[in-house]
Amino acid sequence: MKNFTLIGALFCTLATVFSQSRISELGINAPIIFSATSQQNLAPCSEENPNDGTYEEGFNCSSSSSILAANDLIVAADEIFTLNQITASIFANNGITDVEVRYYDDASGLPGSIIGTEVGVVPTSQTVIGANFGYDVNEIILDLAPFVFNGQSGSETKYWVELIATDGNVTPNVFWVATSSSANGEAIAQFNGSWSKPSPNLDGVYIWSGDCDILLNTNEFTSNKVTVFPNPVLDILTVQLPESISVKSASLYDVLGKNTGAKLFEGTMNTSNLVAGVYFLSVTTSEGTVTKKIIKN
């Protein structure tokens, strides 16, 4: 297993107050304040859409928002990515008290269905690194429960992540820093009745951190048609396949390769008697075999 740091794309909610979706639309353009901060020390397996220090734009990510903004997260071909930390730059004058994190699958280059959520994440740390538009820029670090993003054989897999942030005074004036100086994957996607990409030159500024593993015993069929949820799982794990495909066997192994003995019955597997940790689910079907990494909480 190697350490993996990926910076890509995030979801953040855009506030409806005064129908403003960007911080620049508020008309407050204070002089940029640069601060002396250390650069991110990224692990060898890393990718970054860097903060260039200009803080040129921000998309609202307040917890009072109903309009949404999103960027994508890419899992490399033949890999599994387990996210456990996010570093993000946020415009806000009162600090950030907590964040809700939502994970989505991809629907033709735009956010699709929710596949996971973590609520009430309190920043592990936050530091004011600069300012613009009359707002501090807060670099926050969120330590998360591990969440597994499964890749597929031979090609990248795209997901989307949303942050919904609450500031110290519970105001709608919380904005995710965006830049036109660099981009990673898709541009920010915005939801206003439907998903679109209104700002093709802007991408979010942040870092994803976690672990990436080799995708074991998988093929194009299994990566596309076998769905396992929830992951992380607390008790009941569900395995979904099309009705035309039959399951021949399913086994859940611990990290030492020992079969846990958990049985798949009518599409579900009871993991309540297992200790918390990392497991690997191997499912053999009439059309192929897939192994998926499972996190047990």
End of a domain among 194, 214, 234?
Answer: 214
Helix (H, G, I), strand (E, B) or coil at 262: coil
**Parallel, antiparallel or unpaired: strands 206-214 and 2-6:** antiparallel
- Give SS3 for 213: strand
Which residues touch 8 (CB under 8 Å, ≥6 apart)?
A: 47, 49, 71, 72, 73, 74, 184, 185, 208
| Alpha carbons 69 and 60: distance in angstroms, whole number | 8
239-289 pLDDT, tens digit per residue, is 998 888 888 889 998 877 788 999 999 999 999 999 999 999 988 888 777
Residue 134 lies inside a defined structural domain of this protein: yes
282 and 217 in contact (C-beta within 8 Å)? yes
Shared domain for 175 and 261, answered yes or no, is no
pLDDT (0 to 100) of residue 92: 96
Q: Same structural domain for residues 100 and 168?
A: yes
Q: Is residue 33 part of a domain?
A: no
Distance CA 96, CA 87 (A): 13
Domain match, 207 and 235 both: no
Looking at the structure, tell me whether residues 75 and 141 fall in a common domain. yes
Question: 255 and 237, same structural domain?
Answer: yes
DSSP symbol at 122: -
The CB density around residue 259, as the number of other CB atoms within 10 Å, is: 10
Domain C-terminal end among 214, 231, 247: 214
Distance (Å, whole) CA 265 – CA 259: 16
In this structure, is residue 30 part of a structural domain? no
46: buried, middle or exposed (CB in 10 Å: 19+, 13-18, 0-12)? Answer: middle
Q: CA nearest 159: which of 208, 199, 109?
A: 109
Single out the residue in 193, 214, 235 at which a domain terminates. 214
CATH of the domain at 276: 2.60.40.10
Q: Which domain holds residue 240?
A: 223-296
Are residues 103 and 128 located together in one domain of the fold? yes
Name the stretches of the chain with pLDDT < 70: 1-20, 22, 24-47, 216-224
- In sequence order, what are the beta bridge partners of 67? 14
Are 185 and 81 contacting, i.e. CB atoms less than 8 angstroms apart?
Answer: no
